[in-house]
Amino acid sequence: MTEYSTSPTGEKFRLPTPEDYSKEFERLKRLVDDRRARGLEIVVVMGLGFVGAVMAAVVADAQDKDGNPTKFVIGMQRPSTRSFWKTPFLNRGISPVISEDPEVPFMINRCVNEKKTLMATYTYDALKLADAVIVDVQCDYLKESLGNVRDGRADMEALEKSIEIIAQNINAQTLVLIETTVAPGTTEQVAYPIMKKVFKKRGIEGEALLAHSFERVMPGKNYVASVRDFWRVCSGVNEEATRRVVKFLNEVINTEKYPLTVLDRPIESETAKIVENSFRATILAFMDEWSLFAERNGVDLTKVINAIKVRPTHSNIMFPGPGIGGYCLPKDGGLGVWAYRHIHGFEDDIFKITPLAININDTRSLHVAQLTRDALRNMGRPIASAEILLLGASYREDVGDTRYSGSELIVRRLTEMGAELRVHDPYVLHWWEFEKQDEYPGNSHGLKRFFRGQEKLKDLRVEQDLKNALEGTDAIILAVRHKHYLNLDPDEVVGNAGGPIAVIDCFGILDDERIKRYFELGCEVKGLGRGHVKRIKDQVREKREQILIDISVKEEKRDLSLSSEDLELLSNGCKLGTED
């Protein structure tokens, strides 16, 4: 049966058949012979995902002091129905990943079509031609329950398989650089033994040249710079591997401005990545309890954080938003905790803070559903069958990456509670976690399985027109600090909605003026970490009561003239409940 892979744009590509492989290898050999003759080194990048596609282009764009290209890069993507389309896309010069950084498509097009230093293939035979291989395949952490990262495991399958295939194909002098974020110990205790065994079978004497250097990719406007113009840490399994990885990174990364840190052993480089991300996950998780404290004690956490931030030693204190998403922070600490037992064989439990931080972050957004329920209740509207508009699907501001976003959990929980959800996000065209919720993300490990009543979410589509999305809504949830949401005018929002609504601010988006205005318009406002909204509500209520007193005085004096503002506040104020 002929199999196809369909691109996100809907284009269908036939998967290669056995006959295609030999022809493809002949094509590769011709190209490689030509580039080698011009003095270029051959680099294979395995895995053309978010990281691999851009790293491949950065390497292909490298040049010597005279401006001549130094590397010919073959991006290697396995021909699965899910991912094969990336190969023909890249060969046309089209980026297989969508990025807000205009340099991504520009650089890929330049390297493929002008410099001719970048191409993609589906055949592992490409590895036979490589001087260096970069491994950028995924290494997931699969969680078995919501809010308990210990109940899970590292999914090493793609990585182990890749390493085995690499060892079967490369020559002994090929540098293998693992960039995948791995459980600490993986390079030396998982990958190296695999390579050693395969090399032995192939009769190759000598040690594999294996190294680790992690990516610090940041989605967003500076995507390319976060790969190329940023500090790197690296280490090899032996002296020669370390020498080679240092030489390679010096040739492709801007190490003059961002010097390399060379560590003694790969486990140190691997641990650096995990600690770096666990640190960030922890400082965010730590704010969750203070966020609740703030909500219950009339404190505006955003102002507290800004007050602390002026102290240079505390400048990286952060407001956590509705959960901590993205591909890395929710899983990386889990890889470390898992490695301690399953790679290093320890039985005791030394980890307290790292798993706790992930568990807090993984469930923080559920509180948003409670705030929405309470705000609607205060307006006399039940959550069941309420129309709710979520503003922002991605995991951080001004990017289109929805992986493990807190917004997903908000939608799932509110749906479970009977609400009808709509979504707006200017950066997200398809929210695959819902549209393809039975197959994405893979390994049947989507968040759907932790909630009931999720079937209808397959039909959830991301609205691009905010005005349309607002029409007839009972509540809006400001979930992400996209620039489009920072200055929304309350009068317009309420006007487009067709009347007073509940407004839930998850990310310190509303200033006090806007909060006040929403209350004046008869809306209910709640926010993560924003306990002071109650004070503003009381002020609006007091003002309304004062107007009522004024009316009765005027009535006594038989003078019933009222300003239009007072009239408006009075009529909207009737809707202002007394509950908190």
Ligand X SMILES: NC(=O)c1ccc[n+]([C@@H]2O[C@H](COP(=O)([O-])OP(=O)(O)OC[C@H]3O[C@@H](n4cnc5c(N)ncnc54)[C@H](O)[C@@H]3O)[C@@H](O)[C@H]2O)c1
Which of 92, 161, 247, 554 forms a contact with ligand X (CB under 6 A)? 161
Question: Smaller CB distance to ligand X: residue 180 or 496?
Answer: 180
Q: Report the alpha-carbon distance of residue 578 to residue 567 in Å, rounded.
A: 20
Q: CB of 507: closest distance to ligand X in angstroms?
A: 20
CB-CB contact of 5 with 12 (8 Å): yes
Q: Which is nearer to ligand X, 70 or 168 (CB)?
A: 168
**Closer of 51 and 130 to ligand X (Cβ):** 51
Asked whether 80 and 1 are in contact (CB, 8 A), the reply is no
5, 77, 123, 213: which one contacts ligand X (CB under 6 A)? 77
CB of residue 168 to ligand X, shortest distance in Å: 12
Task: Out of 327, 338, 404, 507, name the contact with ligand X by CB under 6 A.
Answer: 327
Based on the shown chain and the rule CB under 6 A, indicate whether residue 76 belongs to the binding site for ligand X. Answer: yes
Question: What does the block give as tokens for 189?
Answer: 């205790």
For residues 340 and 395, which CB has a smaller minimum distance to ligand X in the complex? Answer: 395
Residue 85 or 434 with smaller CB distance to ligand X: 85
- Compute, in degrees rounded to 10, the torsion defined by CA atoms 494, 498, 501, 505: -40
Query: Contact 282/354 with Cβ under 8 angstroms?
Result: yes
CB of 498 to ligand X, least distance (A): 40
Separation between Cα atoms, residue 511 and residue 529, nearest integer Å: 13
Q: Is 371 in the site for ligand X (CB under 6 A)?
A: no
CA dist 460 → 389, 423, 452, 456, 481 (Å): 12, 8, 16, 8, 21
List phi, psi (to 5°) of 324.
Answer: -115, 105
Stretch that binds ligand X, among 144-152, 212-220, 310-318, 336-344 (CB under 6 A): 212-220
SS3 74: strand
**What minimum distance in Å lies between the beta carbon of 276 and ligand X?**
10
Of the pair 329, 417, the CB lying nearest ligand X is at 329
Among 95, 181, 302, 372, which residue interacts with ligand X (rule: CB under 6 A)? 181
Does position 510 bind ligand X by CB under 6 A?
A: no
Q: Which of 43, 217, 299, 447 binds ligand X (CB under 6 A)?
A: 217
With both helix axes pointing from N to C terminus, report the angle between 332-342 and 266-296 in degrees, rounded to the nearest 10.
Answer: 130
Nearer to ligand X, 215 or 295 (CB): 215
Supply the minimum distance, in Å, between the C-beta of residue 192 and ligand X: 18
Q: Fill in the amino acid letter for 378.
A: N
CB of 77 to ligand X, least distance (A): 5
Q: Closest Cα to residue 395, out of 372, 428, 367? A: 428
Phi, psi of 571 (to 5 degrees): -70, -40
User: How far is residue 367's CA from residue 374's CA, in Å, rounded to a whole number?
Assistant: 11
C-alpha distances out from residue 249 to 64, 179, 300, Å: 13, 12, 46
Establish if 83 lies at the interface with ligand X (CB under 6 A): yes
What is the per-residue binding string for ligand X in 117-146, x denoting contact by CB under 6 A? -------------------xxxx-------
Residues 425, 432 contacting (CB under 8 angstroms): no
Angle (CA) 7-9-14 rounded to 5° is 35
Helix pair 406-416, 366-378: axis angle to 10 deg = 50
Beta strands 152-155 and 140-143 are antiparallel
Residue 148 per-residue DSSP state: -
Query: Residue 362 belongs to what H/E stretch?
Result: helix 353-363
Q: How far is the CB of 214 from ligand X (least distance, A)?
A: 6
From 5, 87, 117, 162, residue interacting with ligand X (rule: CB under 6 A): 162
By CB under 6 A, tell whether 271 contacts ligand X. Answer: no
Length of the chain (residues): 580
Closest-approach residue to ligand X (CB): 49
Site for ligand X in 24-53 (CB under 6 A): 46-52
Q: How far is the CB of 124 from ligand X (least distance, A)?
A: 7
Q: How far is the CB of 339 from ligand X (least distance, A)?
A: 14
Number of shown-chain residues binding ligand X (CB under 6 A): 25
Collapsing DSSP states into helix, strand and coil, what is residue 223? helix
Site for ligand X contains 72 (CB under 6 A): no
Residue 167 interacts with ligand X (CB under 6 A): yes or no: no
Give Dmax over CA atoms of the chain in angstroms: 107
Binding mask 282-321 for ligand X (x = CB under 6 A): ----------------------------------------
59 in contact with ligand X (CB under 6 A): no
Cβ 216 to ligand X, closest distance in Å?
Answer: 6
Asked if residue 186 binds ligand X (CB under 6 A), the reply is no
Number of continuous H segments (helices) and E segments (strands) in the chain: 22, 18
Q: Which is nearer to ligand X, 137 or 469 (CB)?
A: 137
Alpha carbon 575 to its chain's center = 39
* Chain positions contacting ligand X, by CB under 6 A: 46-52, 76-78, 83, 136-139, 158, 161-162, 180-181, 215, 217, 219, 327-328
